[in-house]
């Protein structure tokens, strides 16, 4: 059973990917590595423009719902109109769209002399991707109930506190079961004068929804702080945990300001046998990279303008789905039908019709390696990036088919040896085992070319 105090324990089940043909992609899409690969993965959506933020949290709490409690530090008191019930499918869609992906190409016939010479000149390098409670008792503990209301199946209170022991006592007295060490984890937020969003499940309302799992919660607020609380979630940690953050911004890529933000190794050729276990490869690669960095880095897995993709692991989100994800600056509809657009206000749109930029960040953290909450900034960088890996299927011909075939198979063996070494470096797997899987035989090449065989207006923004 998961502990009852949660920052967010978010596990997304990806919807089936919908393959799209993209103008600049001449191969074909094979598979993706989604959040289901990571057992302790949480997912959060953050939509941010200026000082306005919408945070969506998906809870995967397992256990008696009477013991569920969600405690989230927030920079300001949230009124009822600033809290909304979200749609889990938006997490699934963002995961499917931005997941690390495997693409596949077929080698061309080297006996086609013109194509062979063109490939020889380009050294067979992949084409670059296109850019495009009682009040008196509360006061005695130094706790103030700033607001109290219900939204959907959640009963919610907003608290402020003077000291962490008093807050822990108040929560315990009011039926919230807390893990050991809660007061120490709450103390830094009290020193920052932050408020506490506390939610528990109303069992009658939950039964009325007909939904077996808890629906996501969304918070909308204005604050100069561009951050995500991380430390409370560490109370539940049973070893390293993974966090996937989908950052939706208007202009550019998002990075952390208090930790290193690193792009994962990408656009590398891999042995074709990885096709059958791309998920296993990606888990091993990410673990190896995180261990090299001491679990102290934040990794960029994807950054793209959400109006298009290349290659597409799933369809880009529709305007309505973007609004559900919190993209309140999106235009195109009357504000009365737009969940996040400020009423009576003209919102300038980015050039070329771009609605939102998506940055997918992946963090593997422990209490020792991430002693601070995540702080972010939106950069001016608009260079597309994706964690993409490539399979190249050898030509299925004979060395005797044409004079160029001999040179092709020699180059093929060099390429396959490079693929084996790249896979070993990325994952830490033993090079000899990889060579055996690929059927590589020392300095010889296989003449046959064979390799391995294998919208409700819930938060009207105030006018400035």
Res 90 pLDDT > 60? yes
Does residue 63 or residue 287 have the better pLDDT? 287
Mean pLDDT score, 33-52: 87
What pLDDT shows up at residue 439?
85
Q: What is the mean pLDDT of the chain?
A: 80
Res 128 pLDDT > 90? no
The DSSP H or E segment spanning 438 is: helix 431-438
Q: Tokens standing for 249?
A: 């911004």
What pLDDT shows up at residue 237?
60
What pLDDT shows up at residue 352?
41
Res 277 pLDDT > 90? yes
**pLDDT range class, residue 245, cuts 50, 70, 90:** very high
Q: Give per-residue pLDDT as tens, 356-374.
A: 999 999 999 988 899 999 9
DSSP state of 457: -
Cβ atoms of residues 186 and 168 within 8 Å:
yes
Q: How far is CA 251 from CA 92, 260, 355, 380, 404, in A?
A: 24, 21, 9, 7, 49
What pLDDT shows up at residue 255?
98
Q: How far is CA 441 from CA 269, 353, 432, 437, 444, in A?
A: 19, 53, 10, 11, 6
List CB contacts of 268: < 8 A, sequence separation 6 or more: 389, 390, 422, 426
Q: Is the pTM of this model over 0.85?
A: no
Res 176 pLDDT > 90? no
Please give the Cα distance from 267 to 141 (Å, whole number). 56
What pLDDT shows up at residue 348?
36
**pLDDT range class, residue 346, cuts 50, 70, 90:** very low
Mean pLDDT score, 55-82: 85
Please give the Cα distance from 91 to 45 (Å, whole number). 8
The sign of the torsion formed by the CA atoms of 267, 247, 298, 375 equals: positive
The DSSP H or E segment spanning 270 is: strand 268-270
Closest CA to 397 of 161, 70, 111: 111
Rg (CA), the chain: 25
**pLDDT range class, residue 301, cuts 50, 70, 90:** very high
Mean pLDDT score, 33-42: 79
Count of Cβ atoms closer than 10 Å to residue 447 Cβ: 14
Q: Give per-residue pLDDT as tens, 181-206.
A: 788 888 999 999 999 999 998 888 88
Mean pLDDT score, 209-233: 87
Per-domain boundaries in the chain: 10-55+84-132+225-230+237-438
Q: Which of 166-170, 178-182, 343-347, 457-461 has the lowest mean pLDDT?
A: 343-347
Q: Tokens standing for 132?
A: 């495009």
Q: Give per-residue pLDDT as tens, 12-23.
A: 222 222 233 333
List CB contacts of 191: < 8 A, sequence separation 6 or more: none
What pLDDT shows up at residue 136?
55
Q: How far is CA 430 from CA 106, 265, 275, 392, 437, in A?
A: 27, 19, 19, 22, 11
Res 342 pLDDT > 90? no
Mean pLDDT score, 374-383: 96
Does residue 461 or residue 445 have the better pLDDT? 461
Mean pLDDT score, 25-54: 82
Please give the Cα distance from 175 to 164 (Å, whole number). 17
Cβ atoms of residues 412 and 449 within 8 Å:
yes
Does residue 448 or residue 68 have the better pLDDT? 68
Q: Give per-residue pLDDT as tens, 129-152.
A: 443 345 556 667 899 999 999 999
What pLDDT shows up at residue 337?
41
What pLDDT shows up at residue 349?
36
**pLDDT range class, residue 257, cuts 50, 70, 90:** very high
Please give the Cα distance from 189 to 169 (Å, whole number). 16
What pLDDT shows up at residue 444?
42
Q: How far is CA 141 from CA 24, 91, 166, 169, 220, in A?
A: 62, 38, 5, 8, 29
DSSP secondary structure string for all residues of 321-384: HHHHHT-TT--SS-GGG-SSSPTT---PPPGGG---EEEEEEEEE-TTT--S-EEEEE-S----
Q: Using DSSP bridges, classify how beta strands 5-6 and 217-222 pair: parallel, antiparallel or unpaired.
A: unpaired
What pLDDT shows up at residue 227?
94
């Amino acid at each position: 059973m998961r502990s009852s105090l949660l920052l967010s324990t978010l596990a997304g089940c990806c919807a089936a990917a919908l393959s799209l043909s993209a103008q600049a992609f001449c191969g074909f899409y094979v598979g993706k590595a989604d959040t289901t690969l990571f057992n302790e993965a949480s997912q959060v959506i953050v939509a941010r423009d200026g000082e306005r933020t919408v945070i969506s949290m998906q809870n995967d709490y397992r256990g008696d719902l009477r013991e569920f409690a969600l405690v989230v530090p927030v920079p300001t008191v949230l009124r009822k109109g600033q809290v909304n019930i979200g749609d889990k499918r938006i997490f699934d869609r963002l995961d499917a769209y931005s997941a690390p992906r495997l693409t596949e190409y077929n080698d061309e016939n080297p006996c086609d002399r013109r194509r062979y010479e063109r490939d020889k000149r380009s050294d067979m390098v992949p084409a670059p991707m296109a850019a495009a409670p009682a009040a008196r008792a509360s006061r005695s503990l130094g706790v103030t109930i700033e607001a109290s209301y219900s939204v959907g199946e959640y009963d919610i209170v907003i608290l402020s506190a003077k000291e962490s022991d008093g807050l822990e006592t108040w929560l315990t007295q009011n039926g919230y079961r807390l893990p050991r060490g809660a007061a120490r984890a709450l103390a830094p937020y009290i020193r920052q004068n932050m408020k506490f969003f506390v939610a528990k499940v109303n069992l009658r309302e939950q039964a009325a929804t007909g939904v077996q799992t808890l629906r996501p919660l969304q918070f909308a607020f204005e604050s100069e702080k561009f951050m995500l609380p991380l430390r409370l979630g560490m109370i539940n940690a049973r070893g390293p945990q993974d966090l996937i953050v989908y950052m939706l911004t208007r202009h550019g890529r998002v990075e952390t300001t208090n930790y290193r933000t690193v792009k994962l190794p990408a656009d590398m050729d891999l042995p074709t046998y990885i096709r059958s276990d791309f998920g296993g490869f990606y888990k091993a690669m990410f673990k190896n990279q995180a261990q090299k960095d001491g679990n102290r880095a934040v990794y960029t897995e994807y950054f793209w303008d959400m109006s298009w993709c290349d290659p597409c692991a799933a369809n880009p989100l529709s305007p309505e789905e973007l609004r559900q994800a919190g993209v309140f600056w999106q235009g195109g509809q009357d504000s009365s039908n737009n969940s996040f657009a400020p009423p009576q206000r003209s919102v300038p749109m980015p050039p070329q019709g771009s609605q939102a930029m998506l940055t997918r960040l992946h963090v593997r953290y422990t209490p020792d390696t991430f002693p601070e909450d995540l702080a972010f900034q939106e950069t001016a960088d608009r260079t597309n990036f994706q964690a993409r890996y490539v399979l190249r299927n050898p030509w299925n011909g004979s060395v005797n088919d044409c004079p160029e075939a001999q040179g092709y198979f020699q180059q093929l063996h060099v390429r396959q040896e490079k693929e084996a070494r790249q896979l070993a470096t990325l994952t830490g797997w033993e090079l000899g085992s990889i060579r055996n899987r690929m059927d590589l035989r020392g300095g010889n090449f296989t003449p046959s070319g064979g390799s391995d065989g294998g919208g409700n207006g819930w938060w009207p923004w105030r006018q400035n």
